[in-house]
């Protein structure tokens, strides 16, 4: 089976940097995803890691350590529109995808 | 416009009345998947399909059926809906394994289902 843990809620200040952690235990590993989901909307893709290291995409970066079963999503220069839930997901064996429950980020002025 | 569409967007039904939620994508994607999202439980995969006529169970397949007779469509069938299937359902698709873009899943807008 697969188990994914991430904090339920976080609060950060506009303009700051926030790191959202995700730990996982899986049978098979074929990549880790981060998605953003605004309330009432569909998730949208942010990043994908399959090898160890940091992937940077504009204000968003994602890190993976496969040996530690650990990933984080780093959001820089926070904006109010970044208030959303951030979902960590792992693709395991046979291409099954398991999502964490999501981290609800509130950005305050 | 490249998109995943779902119908209906909202549905209220009664226990035992068979229903189908349609999902269609216009991006020629091979991989398609259904999820349900419930408060405190996150997104859970119901079924997925790697290609036409190939479907596999996700983590919560009980009470659901799917079919993949053509690449663009992946309907979700509830033969005898029950109140515990009240949820928000998302369909998603992504390119084939051989594509560099395989990793990005595109989600439909969601279907909010209530079973009374």
Contacts of B56 in chain A (CB under 8 A): 94-96
Q: Is B56 close to A96, i.e. CB distance below 8 A?
A: yes
CB A43 within 8 A of CB A87: yes
Residues of chain A with pLDDT below 50 are none
| pLDDT higher than threshold 70 for residue B101 | no
Q: How far apart are CA B46 and CA B52, in angstroms?
A: 17
Q: Which of A76-80, B20-24, B39-43 has the lowest mean pLDDT?
A: B39-43
Pairing state between β B54-57 and B76-78: unpaired
CB A19 within 8 A of CB A74: yes
Q: How far apart are CA A63 and CA A54, in angstroms?
A: 4
Q: What per-residue confidence (pLDDT) applies to B100?
A: 64
Q: Is A95 close to B40, i.e. CB distance below 8 A?
A: no
Mean pLDDT confidence for B8-35: 96
Torsion over CA: B79, B29, A90, B56 (sign): positive
Banded model confidence at residue B102, pLDDT cuts 50, 70, 90: low
Alpha-carbon A100 to chain mean position: 9
Q: Does residue B51 sit at the A interface (CB-CB below 8 Å)?
A: no
Q: How far is B15 from chain A (nearest CA, A)?
A: 25
């Amino acid at each position: 089976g697969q188990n994914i843990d991430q904090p339920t809620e976080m609060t950060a200040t506009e303009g700051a940097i926030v790191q959202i952690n995700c730990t996982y235990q899986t049978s098979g590993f074929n990549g880790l995803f981060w998605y953003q989901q605004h309330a009432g909307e569909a998730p949208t893709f942010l990043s994908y890691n399959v090898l160890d290291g940091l992937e940077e995409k504009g204000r968003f970066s994602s890190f993976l350590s496969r040996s530690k079963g650990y990933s984080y999503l780093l959001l820089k220069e926070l904006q109010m529109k970044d208030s959303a839930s951030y979902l960590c997901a792992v693709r395991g064996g046979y291409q099954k995808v398991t999502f964490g429950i999501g981290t609800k980020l509130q950005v305050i002025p | 416009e490249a998109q995943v569409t779902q119908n209906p967007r909202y549905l209220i039904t009664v226990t035992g009345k068979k229903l189908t939620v349609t999902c269609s994508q216009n991006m020629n994607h091979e991989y398609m998947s259904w999820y349900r999202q419930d408060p405190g439980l996150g997104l859970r995969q119901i079924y997925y399909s790697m290609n036409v006529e190939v479907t596999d169970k996700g983590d919560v397949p009980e009470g659901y059926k799917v079919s993949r007779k053509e690449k663009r469509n992946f309907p979700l069938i509830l033969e005898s809906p029950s109140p515990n299937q009240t949820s928000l359902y998302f369909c998603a698709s992504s390119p084939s394994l051989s594509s560099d873009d395989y990793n990005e899943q595109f989600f439909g807008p969601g279907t909010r289902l209530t079973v009374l």
